[in-house]
Amino acid sequence: MRYEIETVKTFKLICIDGEVENEEDVKLLNDEISTLTERGSRRFVFELKDTRYLNSAAVSVILQCLCSVERKDGSVFVIAQDERMRAVLEMVGLNRVIKVFNSKNEFWKEQGVMC
């Protein structure tokens, strides 16, 4: 797994590439997000365009992020362009608590940001 984090407007955009399947990957991602929330970040977008696999612990990291920022009037969104990834997110019910977008353009358009 590789990931990049960039700031776009008021969002932390987390682009995950590869497979998030082992404990080290999940811990690395969780620690990074925890650091960002502790420093005051409260608006996150997980872009799963190049993500081929998320284990249940990785899904929990996204949910924990939501729980952390909701208390501070924050938000979490997911961009999942791959049909299979969206199906997995729906199967675990993530789409019921976090809005999932089909593309980066769709997300930014809803936010009123032109990229």
How many domains are contained in the chain?
1
Counting every residue, how long is the chain? 115
Using left for φ > 0, alpha for ψ between -120 and 50, and beta otherwise, residue 95 falls in: alpha
CA 6 to chain centre: 12
Residue 87: give its domain's CATH number: 3.30.750.24
Closest listed residue to residue 115, CA positions, set 100, 101, 105, 103 = 105
Q: Which ranges constitute the DSSP H helices of 1-115?
A: 23-38, 56-70, 83-91, 104-111
For residue range 36-70, list pLDDT tens digits in order.
Answer: 999 999 999 999 989 999 999 999 999 999 999 99
For residue 24, the enclosing domain spans: 2-111
Question: What pTM, to 2 d.p., does this model score?
Answer: 0.94
